[in-house]
Amino acid sequence: MLKQIVVLLAFVAFAAHGFPGGKIKCGSSISSKTFTLSNPSNPPNDCVYKVKSYSSKVCQLRLDIEMVLAAPTVSNVQSGRNNTKCVDDFLEIGEYKFCGREPNQHIYIPFSEKTTEIRVFSSSRSGGSLLPRVSWNIRVKQLECPKGLSASSVLPYSDFDLLAPAGCLQYFQEKTGLISSFNLDSGRGSYTSGLSYAICLK
């Protein structure tokens, strides 16, 4: 009986930190090194997660994003300018807002604070709304930076090769692959105005 109780307690602890077996709820604070944020069956209009540093050496967050949100909205039709902004729905982290459909994107965010927020906002779908059904699956990994560049300080850290160069929102290390703009949606999507960022290749 004792062994069964111990196994059950371990399972509950892992589920609370985003491991398979349970979803992390909106409003949660997470300090795990790796975890996944997935939409609940009935997402609230405003879902905020707080990410707390896994250790004092965490310097970046890598987010692998799959989501379906409303596309950017043309904000000023009368002027004739095609200014598209994330209005109805958006994923917000730091200074960046993303919206639309993202089947497979990633971003790197500097993480020098003890806590940062990941926010998913969605407009009401009531009253026969034509907006898409909201969904998101965001895999988050806290990356640690070694102090100094001596061999003794670098070798213990498995994250060293994963860190993106400073100023890179996206960092591709693969020899081959596909790079696409945010909300490309197979050529049907529109680019969000004012979204300026650097893509880096290894």
Q: 100, 96, 27: which is closest to 63 by C-alpha?
A: 96
Q: 116, 90, 111: which is closest to 29 by C-alpha?
A: 116
pTM, whole model, 2 decimals? 0.80
Greater model confidence, 100 or 76: 100
Average pLDDT over residues 8-31: 61
User: Is residue 92 over pLDDT 80?
Assistant: yes
For residue 153, what are the CA distances in angstroms to 147, 150, 164?
Answer: 6, 5, 18
pLDDT the model gives residue 2: 40
Average pLDDT over residues 19-35: 85
pLDDT band at 80 (very low <50, low <70, confident <90, very high): low
Average pLDDT over residues 67-76: 85
Can you tell me the distance from the alpha carbon of 179 to that of 181, in angstroms, rounded to the nearest whole number? 7
- HSE-up of 30 (CA within 13 Å, CB side)? 29
Give the bridge partners for 98, in sequence order: 91
The helix (run of H) or strand (run of E) holding residue 199 is: strand 199-201
pLDDT the model gives residue 151: 47
Per-domain residue ranges of the chain: 24-201
pLDDT the model gives residue 21: 45
pLDDT band at 78 (very low <50, low <70, confident <90, very high): low
Residue appearing with tokens 């919206």: 99
Q: What are residue 71's phi and psi, to 5 degrees?
A: -70, 160
The CATH class of the 24-201 domain is: mainly beta
* DSSP SS3 for 198: coil
pLDDT the model gives residue 158: 77
Q: 68, 11, 63: which is closest to 37 by C-alpha?
A: 63
Can you tell me the distance from the alpha carbon of 187 to that of 147, in angstroms, rounded to the nearest whole number? 43
Using one digit for the tens of pLDDT, what is the confidence trace for 100-143? 999 999 999 999 778 899 999 999 988 777 899 999 999 999 99
3-class secondary structure for 151-171?
Answer: HHHHCCCCCHHHCCCCCCCEE
Q: 90, 89, 58: which is closest to 162 by C-alpha?
A: 58
Using one digit for the tens of pLDDT, what is the confidence trace for 144-178? 987 655 444 554 557 888 999 999 999 999 989 88
Q: Are 40 and 120 in contact (CB under 8 A)?
A: no
User: Is residue 3 over pLDDT 70?
Assistant: no
Can you tell me the distance from the alpha carbon of 65 to that of 93, in angstroms, rounded to the nearest whole number? 12
Beta-carbon count within 10 A of 196 CB: 6
pLDDT the model gives residue 79: 54
pLDDT band at 15 (very low <50, low <70, confident <90, very high): very low
